[in-house]
Structure 1
Amino acid sequence: MIPVKGFSGQKVAVLGLGRSGLAAARALRAGGAEPVCWDDNPAARERAEDEGFACSDLRRQGAFDGIATLIVSPGIPHLYPEPNPVVAAALEAGVPVDNDIGLFFRSFSGPEWNNFDTPPRVIAVTGSNGKSTTAALIHHILTETGREAQLAGNIGRGVLDIDPGGDGSVMVLELSSYQTELARALTPDVAVFTNLSPDHLDRHHGLGGYFAAKRRLFAEGGPDRAVIGVDEAEGAFLAGQLSEGPADDRVIRVSVARKLTGPGWQVFARKGFLSEYRKGRQAGSIDLRAIKGLPGAHNHQNACAAYAACRSLGLAPRVIEDALHSYPGLPHRSQIIAEADGVTYVNDSKATNVDSAVKALSAFKKIRWICGGLEKEGGIAALNGAATEVLKAYVIGREAANFAMQLDMDAQVCTSMAAAVEQAVADSQPGETVLLAPAAASFDQYDNFEQRGEDFSEQVKTRLGE
Structure 2
Amino acid sequence: MIPVRGVEGTRIAVLGLGRSGLSAARALKAGGAEPLLWDDSEDARDKAAAEGFTLHDPSRREAWTGVAALIVSPGIPHLYPEPNRWIAAAIDAGVPVDNDIGMFFRSLATPDWDSFDIPPRVVAVTGSNGKSTTSALIHHCLLASGRESQLAGNIGRGVLDIDPPGDAGVVVLELSSYQTDLARALTPDVAVFTNLSPDHLDRHAGMGGYFAAKRRLFAEGGPDRAVIGVDEVEGRYLANQMGEGPGDDRVIRVSVDRKLEGPGWSVCARKGFLSETRKARQVASVDLRGIRGLPGAHNHQNACAAYGALRALGLSPKQIEEGFRTFEGLPHRSQIVAEKGGVTYVNDSKATNTDAAQCALEAFDRIRWIVGGQLKDGGLTPLKGHLDHVVKAYVIGRHAHETALEISQIPHEVCETMAVAVARAAAEAQPGETVLLAPAAASFDQYDNFERRGEDFAAEVATLPS
Normalising by structure 2, report the TM-score: 0.99
Q: Is residue 377 of structure 1 aligned with residue 377 of structure 2?
A: yes
Aligned partners of 1:246 and 1:263 also within 8 Å: yes
- TM-superposed deviation, 1:37: 0.3
Report the alpha carbon displacement of residue 60 of structure 1 after superposing the two structures with TM: 2.3
1:162-212 Cα deviation digits (max 9, x unpaired)? 000100000000000000000000000000000000000101100111000
**Cα distance between partner residues in 2 of 1:377 and 1:464:** 38
Distance 1:330 1:128 in 2: 17
The answer (yes or no) to whether the contact 1:370–1:393 under 8 Å persists in 2 is yes
Indicate yes or no: 2:424 matched with 1:451: no
How far apart, in 1, do the equivalents of 2:430 and 2:235 lie? 41
Post-superposition Cα deviations, 1:362-398, rounded to whole Å, max 9, x if no partner, equal 0000000001000112221011111110000000000
1:10-409 → structure 2 map (5 Å cutoff)? 10-407=10-407, 408-409=409-410
Structure 1, residues 245-270: CA drift from partner, whole Å, max 9, x if none? Answer: 00000000000000011100000000
1:196-244 deviation line (CA, Å, top 9, x unaligned): 0000010110011100000000011200000000000000000001110
Whole-angstrom CA distance in 1 between matches of 2:173 and 2:319:
22
SS at match of 2:105: helix
Give 4+ residue runs of structure 1 displaced > 3 Å after superposition. none
Distance 1:207 1:239 in 2: 18
SS of the residue 1:150 aligns to: strand
1:125 corresponds to which letter in structure 2?
Answer: V
Q: CA deviation at 1:438?
A: 0.3
CA distance in structure 2 between the partners assigned to 1:372 and 1:143 by the alignment = 37
Residue correspondence of structure 1 range 408-419 to structure 2 within 5 A? 408-419=409-420
Equivalent in the alignment of 2:438? 437
Identical-pair percentage: 71
For residue 249 of structure 2, what is the amino acid of its counterpart?
D
- Does the Cα contact within 8 Å between 1:252 and 1:266 map onto a contact in 2? yes
Looking at structure 2, the residues matched to 185 and 251 of structure 1 have their Cα atoms a distance apart, in angstroms, of 21
Q: What is the identity, as a one-letter code, of the residue corresponding to 2:336?
A: I
- Distance of 1:181 and 1:50 partners within structure 2: 32
CA distance in 2, matches of 1:119, 1:378: 47
Matches of 1:346 and 1:61 in 2, distance apart? 54
Match of 2:6 in 1: 6
Q: Secondary structure at the match of 2:32?
A: coil
Cα distance in 2 for residues equivalent to 1:445 and 1:318: 45
**What is the CA-CA distance between 1:308 and the residue it aligns to?**
0.5
How far 1:411 sits from its partner (Å)? Answer: 1.3
Q: Post-superposition shift, 1:119?
A: 0.2
5+ residue gaps, structure 1: none
Deviates more, 1:448-457 or 1:56-65: 56-65
SS of the aligned residue for 2:384 comes to: helix
**Cα-Cα RMSD:** 0.6
Q: Corresponding residue for 2:465? A: 464
Point out where structure 2 has 5 or more consecutive residues left out of the alignment.
none
Secondary structure of the structure 2 residue equivalent to 1:320: helix
- Structure 1 residue 453: deviation in Å? 0.2
Work out the CA distance in 2 between the residues paired with 1:206 and 1:446: 27
Structure 1 residue matching 2:302: 3-state secondary structure? helix
Report the secondary structure of 2:71's partner residue.
strand
Task: Give 3-state SS (helix, strand or coil) of 1:458's partner.
Answer: helix
